[in-house]
Amino acid sequence: MEFDEIEKGYSFNATFLVSDEMIRDFARITGDNNPLHLDDEFAKTTQFKRRIAHGMLVVSLISKVLGRDFPGAGTVYVSQFVKFRKPVYVGDTVEVQITVKDKNKEKRRLFLITNVLDNDQEVITGEAEIYLPE
Amino acid sequence: MEFDEIEKGYSFNATFLVSDEMIRDFARITGDNNPLHLDDEFAKTTQFKRRIAHGMLVVSLISKVLGRDFPGAGTVYVSQFVKFRKPVYVGDTVEVQITVKDKNKEKRRLFLITNVLDNDQEVITGEAEIYLPE
């Protein structure tokens, strides 16, 4: 989406299935092989009772939306804050919600609210700043 | 590492090779198939001239360190802020540097400076809050 078309208050949502395969691949890539993400029997012994996704895997879906969907190609990521509020379980479908909080036309910056919902509950909340070069 | 052993000022560093395979797998998992990460010919036409890693893939290495290395098992991720300062190129080796900025003994929280260096330059800077349950 073009910078000039994007107004304060605009929002964009996208849903993603957080699959077992994604979690196992993410564990392999990053080396984060915490059994809480990979081992059903271990997960049963934790407060979560079931395997959960790596928080940063879910955050990576925010990054995917910004770079590919809204605003999409050309987006330069400046910063991201995230707060992890609730776990995302293996097989959950999450909704990434991006809302334009503010816009700096001169510097071509967008200030975004970046939340992730799972079953209508906020699992990750946060904010991002992005830059859209001409 | 045990919460009681961790003092303000303590730091932990770990290095990671950001390989082409990691970048391709991360693109597949997240759906972030930006040609800037995947296509040499396209990357030549950009300001970067060469393919770069997804910023959030590099951030995921911070998460790996916190969950597996320092403090390691049992760490609960509360929040993370990151600022993307410079690109990481395919095949670079990066150093994740974690430093304890502050500690809240009662709430068992650690406030961390979380930076990533590439060839001695800061490519990502930021801060995290984590919780270590008893």
Nearest Cα residue in chain B from A61: B30
To test the contact with chain B by mutation, choose from A22, A23, A29 the residue with the greatest count of B C-beta atoms within 10 A, namely: A29
Tell whether A28 is within 8 A of chain B (Cβ): yes
Inter-chain CB proximity B67 and A32 less than 8 Å: yes
Inter-chain CB proximity A29 and B57 less than 8 Å: yes
Class (C level, CATH) for A3-131: alpha beta
- Tokens representing A109 are 């910056």
Per-residue pLDDT at A134: 87
Domain boundaries of chain A, sorted by first residue: 3-131
> In angstroms, how far is the first alpha carbon of chain B from the final one?
12
Q: Per residue in A24-41, pLDDT tens?
A: 999 999 999 999 999 999
Tell whether A19 is within 8 A of chain B (Cβ): no
Nearest Cα residue in chain B from A77: B84
Say whether pLDDT at B1 is over 90: no
Closest alpha carbon to B54 in A65, A114, A96, A28? A65
Phi, psi of A133 (to 5 degrees): -60, 155
- List all residues of chain B from 46 to 75 with a beta carbon under 8 Å from chain A: 54-57, 59-64, 67-68, 73
Inter-chain CB proximity A61 and B22 less than 8 Å: no
Q: Per residue in B97-125, pLDDT tens?
A: 999 999 999 999 999 999 999 999 999 99
Does ipTM exceed 0.95? Answer: yes
Q: Per residue in A69-87, pLDDT tens?
A: 999 999 999 999 999 999 9
State the average pLDDT over residues B13-33: 98
Closest alpha carbon to B25 in A27, A5, A4? A27
> In angstroms, how far is the first alpha carbon of chain A from the final one?
12
Residues in chain A with pLDDT < 50?
none
Query: Sign of the CA dihedral B123, B65, B59, A112?
Result: negative
Of B80, B83, B84, the CB nearest to A82: B80
